[in-house]
Amino acid sequence: MTAAAETHKCTVPACTRQIPVHRLMCRPHWYQVPKPLRDLIWATWRSGAGVFDPQYRDAVRRAIAAAGARPPGKRGLGARTAGRRRHRA
């Protein structure tokens, strides 16, 4: 298998990043998706068995729309900063 066959373009329309085939979208865009929606995608995926499940397909469409709504890096508190307090100087 070639490297090109092992990757695909991020599913967010404006993104040109190449990502592994087992990922839905690139990491910056994935963390643009609200956590409850990411959790729903994982819950309905079931190791690929859920790919034809209407609930999974709807969740993916909503995730792509959410991730494409803002450029990566323009999110609020995320996985890396959640729970941290900002100190004022």
The answer to whether residue 86 is domain-embedded is no
The answer to whether residue 50 is domain-embedded is yes
Q: What is the pLDDT of residues 33-52, one digit of tens each?
A: 999 999 999 888 876 777 78
The answer to whether residue 82 is domain-embedded is no
Domain count, the chain: 1
Write the DSSP string, 15-74: ---EEETT-SS-HHHHTTS-HHHHHHHHHHHTTTTTTT-HHHHHHHHHHHHHHHTS-TT-
The answer to whether residue 74 is domain-embedded is no
Its pTM stands at: 0.68
The answer to whether residue 29 is domain-embedded is yes
Q: What is the pLDDT of residue 78?
A: 41
Domain ranges, residue 46: 4-68
Percent of the chain with pLDDT over 70: 71
To the nearest whole number, what is the mean pLDDT of the chain?
A: 78
